Amino acid sequence: MSAPEPLRDPASLRRLLSPRSVAVVGVSADPIGFGARSISNMKNFAGPVWAVNPKYAGQELHGYPCVGSIADLPEAPDCVLLALPRTGIMAAVEACIAKGVGGIIAFASGYGETGLDDRIAEEEVLRETCRAAGLPLVGVNCLGIVDHVLKAGVTFMPEYPRMTAPPGGVAITSQSGALGYALMQAAERGFSVCHMTTAGNATDLDVCDLAAYQLTMPECRAVALAVEGLRDGRRLALLGDAARKAGKPIVVLKLGRGEAGAAAAVSHTGSLAGSAAAWSAAFKRAGMVEVEDFDALLETAGLFAKAPKPTAPGVAIITPSGGAGIMAADHAEAQGLSMPQPMPQTEAVLRAAIPDFGAPRNPCDLTAQVASNPASYDACMEAMLTDPQYGCAVIPVVYSHHASTQLRMEQLRPYAAKFGKPLIIAWIPERLE
């Protein structure tokens, strides 16, 4: 058995994935065309941007200079986005190779994912052409990339300039374009994302290459990865090594876990999904954190991006609701986490602070009496966080008291700083703020 293909050298992807100049090929005057929507997403980008379309050569198109061909571009762009149908791709790729561009992105669908032999062959030729020329390709059948540091929305997804969150924290790589962008929209509610790539058919670059690049970004503190399939699953181990070396966690969601989902994955990105158990084992070996739910993907990556490393394996659960404590304990146990009982001196403090119908244990139930006696919260936080068995604390916030919930957060904040342990606030109320 031969070794897996090594991951692409991140340095060779820098021009394409964090571009300083961008050309969009196939921009029409129609504002809802894929090219027009893409170039409009570059509004807040600082570097040069060109439209390419022979019909509008020498004019302005959507506020950008338009040239007649790739050859006519005044310089070789870092990133060339091909907003062209499949039939126009190969000629454009050859022009890009001749020009010496940094890399290309192709939205075009209709390749191997159709299951048609001639289309599979056409995609093979495209791969070989790009690889022979050393021209990295994102796609085909993808949705583009976003560099949120550079404000480069190299994607046809609408309204990228609305996303104004401070860049940093989490990098997203998704095989599915739409799901990648759905995650990216967290930036609209202030969630810090630095980068997004969508692999589509992974004709050239697959999610492992793309995520490995993101690990080298200084702004990236964690990677959120959504994958349907890989030509060679052993590349996950290479990516795991890169993550370990970078000291950055990868959180991963596998799509197409069941039979029906796996069958759908074939016609989506031509991916063979394989057995869910085999994938889970591979993620584990690669040191990645697998989640089973889309909602958990960005949430978990975001937590890792923010939280310091736990100082011990034990988890402390502290809450004014017995029910929430039970729920947290259920989840912790399901994840195989250790929840040691407090040391005697810790327990003594808890016992003194909590009513006799509370629980001076782990999970620690302060009971609703905490409303009349906020000092008991402080005493228990201090005691549990001092206990060296606990590397982090989970604090379910059970209901939202409009007048005081924000104050409670302020009350908790200093403890995270004082003990250098992550405080994980679990927001439970059905009210959303």
Cβ atoms within 10 Å of 403's Cβ, excluding its own: 6
What track of x and - describes contact with a second copy for positions 26 through 65 (by CB under 8 A)? ------xxx-------------------------------
Half-sphere exposure in the Cβ direction for 274 (13 Å, CA): 16
Q: Is 267 in the site for a second copy (CB under 8 A)?
A: yes
Sheet holding 49-52, edge to edge: 60-61, 64-67, 49-52, 22-25, 79-82, 104-106, 137-139
Q: Which of 175, 197, 214, 300 binds a second copy (CB under 8 A)?
A: 175
Least Å from the CB of residue 358 to a second copy: 8
Contacts of 3 (CB under 8 A, 6+ apart): none
What track of x and - describes contact with a second copy for positions 192 through 221 (by CB under 8 A)? ------------------------------
Nearer to a second copy, 226 or 412 (CB): 226
Q: Is 356 in the site for a second copy (CB under 8 A)?
A: yes
- In the three-class reduction of DSSP (H, G, I as helix; E, B as strand; rest coil), residue 366 is classed as coil
Nearer to a second copy, 102 or 153 (CB): 153
Name which of residues 106 to 145 contact a second copy (CB under 8 A). 109-111, 113-114, 116, 141, 143
Burial of residue 214 (CB within 10 Å: 0-12, 13-18, 19+) is buried
| Residue 399 and residue 428 in contact, taking contact as beta carbons nearer than 8 Å | yes
Q: Is 322 in the site for a second copy (CB under 8 A)?
A: yes
Backbone phi, psi, residue 36, to 5°: -65, -45
Nearer to a second copy, 113 or 204 (CB): 113
Beta bridge partners of 165: none
Least Å from the CB of residue 74 to a second copy: 31
Q: Which of 202, 243, 339, 383 binds a second copy (CB under 8 A)?
A: 339
Q: Is 182 in the site for a second copy (CB under 8 A)?
A: yes
Q: Which of 12, 28, 69, 185 binds a second copy (CB under 8 A)?
A: 185
Q: Is 90 in the site for a second copy (CB under 8 A)?
A: no
Sign of CA dihedral 124, 128, 129, 134: positive
Q: Is 359 in the site for a second copy (CB under 8 A)?
A: yes
Look at residues 412, 391, 417 and name the one whose alpha carbon lies nearest to residue 319: 412
Q: Is 156 in the site for a second copy (CB under 8 A)?
A: yes
